[in-house]
Amino acid sequence: MKPPNHPMDRPRGRARVRGLAAVLAAVAAVAVGVAMPAQAASTLKASAEARGRYFGTALTRGDLGITAEVNLAAAQFDMLTPGNEMKWDATEPSRGSFNFGPGDQIVSFAQSHGMRVRGHNLVWHSQLPAWVGGVALNQVQGVMENHITTEATHYKGKVYAWDVVNEPYNEDGTLRQDVFYKAMGSNYIAIALRAAHAADPDAKLYINDYNIEGINAKSNGLYSLAQSLVAQGVPLHGIGFESHFIVGQVPSSLQANMQRFADLGLDVAITELDDRIQMPADSSELQQQGTDYGKVVNACLAVSRCVGVSQWGVDDGHSWIPGTFPGYGAAMMWDSSYQPKPAYTAALNALNSGTSSPSASPSPSSSPSSSPSSSPSPSPSSTPIGGACSATMKTTNSWPGGFQSEVTVQAGSASVGGWTVKWTWPGGQSISSLWNGTQSVSGSSVTVRNASYNGSLAAGASTTFGFTANGTAATPTLTCTSP
C-alpha cells in the first residue's frame, strides 16, 4: 500500500498557461543570459564544475519543444534526467515490447549540449504498466531482469548513473510491498542492482527515494539496507536524495545524513530538488527558498562524496509541483517568465564561496564538514600507539542537540583479526545510528566491535566506523583491544 501522502497518489497535470508577454520576456531573458560575459562563476554548471560537482535538471520530451526553457537548461546545467521517458510505462508498455524513442531524444539533446545523463529509472512501483501486476509471482523476477537488462544495455555507455531502484521505502522504514517485493522479498533490490551492473558495468548504480534527506525512520531503513548491500559486495554505488522540499523545511540533519551514507563508501547526490511554496508566494517565502537552496548546495559541498545537485525541472511554469500538490507552486530557481529568483542567486553564491574538497574521493573515508552552520571539534581523542590496536575519535559535524563522529581504528605492529573500542560518555550523550561496527551500550558505557567485513587489519592498517549521536559533541578517551 502506498502512503496516503505519496506524491504519485495526487492528480497529475501541469500549469502551461503562458501569455505572449511571458514568452517575449522569456526570450529576452535568455538572450541577456547568453550575452553575458563567459565567467567561470556565472552559471550553475560552471560554478559546480569548479567545485568538482555537476548541476543537473530534469526535462521531459514536451519540454524539449519549449525554446526558452531548453535554452536556459542548456546554459545552466551539465546533467540531465529524463522526467518520464525512461520509466517502465514508457519503455516497456507491453510485455517484451520496448520503446526507447522518447528516452533517446532526451539522450541526444543531452549529448548535443554537453550534458551527462542520469538514467531514471529501472524498477519502481509507480508509472509501472498494469501488465506487470498481472504477471505470475514466480515470473516477476525474470520479467524484472529482462526489463533491466534490455534497457540498461540499450543505454550502455550513455548514462552516467542509473536510479536502479526508485522509491522502495515506506515512511516507517519498511520496504513497500509492491509486486517486486511480493515476488522476491527484499532480495529484489540486490537482484536488480546485479542485473544493471552486468548490463552496464560503468554506470553508477543508485537507490533513489524521497523523505530520506534527514535522519529519520525511512532513511534509517535505507541505511541498514545500504550497509548490508555494501557488506555483501552488491554493486550499489550511490544514494539519491530526491529532496522535494516544502519551503523552510529542509531537514537540519541533511548533511550528516548524506555523510553517513558516504561513509559506507557510496556516492550521494541530490537528485530531484524542488522547494514548494503555498501559493501565492510572497517575497519573504522566496527569500526563505533562497536560504533553503543555499543550505542544500552547501550540504552537498560539505560532503566530499556528494557528486552533484539536480533540480527537478527548470522554471515554475513547467514544474510538476502545481499539478501534483494542488495549491503549491513556485518551487524552481526561475519563475514562469524564466527570471532568476533568490534561490538561483543563493545556489550560485553557495557554489562560488568557500573551498570545500572536491567530490567523489575514491576511498570510503569521510571528510570533515565545512558547513558554516556546523562546529566540528578539531581535537581528536586517541589511545596510545603500541598495543594491539589504537582508536581515535573526531567530531565531523555538530548541530544543536546532536553531532556526528568518526572513529579510526588502527592495528599496531601486528595484524589483528578483530577489534573492540570502548568509551564512556561524559554528559549523557547517546548514539542514534552507528555504521561500520556493532555497538552495545550499558548506561554511559559504549562498546563497539568490528562489523563482519572490517575486523581484519594488517599491521599498521586502519578502518573507520562512524555514528550520529544526541547531546553535546564530546571526544572521550577510547580503549582499543583485539579481538
Which residue is catalytic, options 167, 213, 242, 406?
167
213 catalytic residue (yes or no): no
369 binds ligand XIL (CB under 6 A): no
311 binds ligand XIL (CB under 6 A): no
Residue 274 near residue 315 (C-beta atoms within 8 A): no
Q: Which of 200, 263, 272, 335 binds ligand XIL (CB under 6 A)?
A: 272
Q: 62 or 368: whose CB is closer to ligand XIL? A: 62
272 catalytic residue (yes or no): yes
Q: Site residues for ligand XIL, window 377-436 (CB under 6 A)?
A: none
57 binds ligand XIL (CB under 6 A): no
166 binds ligand XIL (CB under 6 A): yes
Distance separating alpha carbons of residues 302 and 213, to the nearest angstrom: 15
- Beta bridge pairs of residue 440: 447
Contacts with ligand XIL, 281-310, as mask; x by CB under 6 A: ------------------------------
* 445 phi, psi to nearest 5 deg: -90, 130
* 391 phi, psi to nearest 5 deg: -140, 140
* 381-384: long-range contacts, CB 8 A cutoff, minimum separation 24: 381/475, 381/476, 381/477, 381/478, 382/478, 383/477, 383/478, 383/479, 383/480
Q: How far is the CB of 84 from ligand XIL (least distance, A)?
A: 5
Site size toward ligand XIL (CB under 6 A) is 8
Q: Which of 242, 275, 285, 406 binds ligand XIL (CB under 6 A)?
A: 242
Instruction: Give the C-alpha distances (Å, rounded to integers) separating 378 from 375, 381, 399, 422, 473.
Output: 9, 10, 15, 21, 11
Do β-strands 267-278 and 306-311 pair in parallel, antiparallel, or remain unpaired?
A: parallel
85 binds ligand XIL (CB under 6 A): no
52 binds ligand XIL (CB under 6 A): no
Q: Which of 47, 57, 84, 255 binds ligand XIL (CB under 6 A)?
A: 84
The cell numbers describing 7, all together, are 506524491
Do β-strands 389-399 and 381-382 pair in parallel, antiparallel, or remain unpaired?
A: antiparallel
Question: Nearest-CA neighbor of 103 among 162, 44, 54, 49?
Answer: 162
Q: How far is the CB of 423 from ligand XIL (least distance, A)?
A: 41
Residue 44 near residue 74 (C-beta atoms within 8 A): no
Distance separating alpha carbons of residues 161 and 237, to the nearest angstrom: 9
Q: 163 or 263: whose CB is closer to ligand XIL? A: 163
316 binds ligand XIL (CB under 6 A): no
12 binds ligand XIL (CB under 6 A): yes
Question: Nearest-CA neighbor of 399 among 375, 429, 370?
Answer: 375
Chain position whose Cβ is nearest to ligand XIL: 320
Q: How far is the CB of 333 from ligand XIL (least distance, A)?
A: 16
Q: 169 or 467: whose CB is closer to ligand XIL? A: 169
Residue 216 near residue 254 (C-beta atoms within 8 A): no
Q: How far is the CB of 168 from ligand XIL (least distance, A)?
A: 11
Q: Which residues are catalytic?
A: 167, 272
Residues binding ligand XIL (CB under 6 A): 7, 12, 83-84, 166, 242, 272, 320
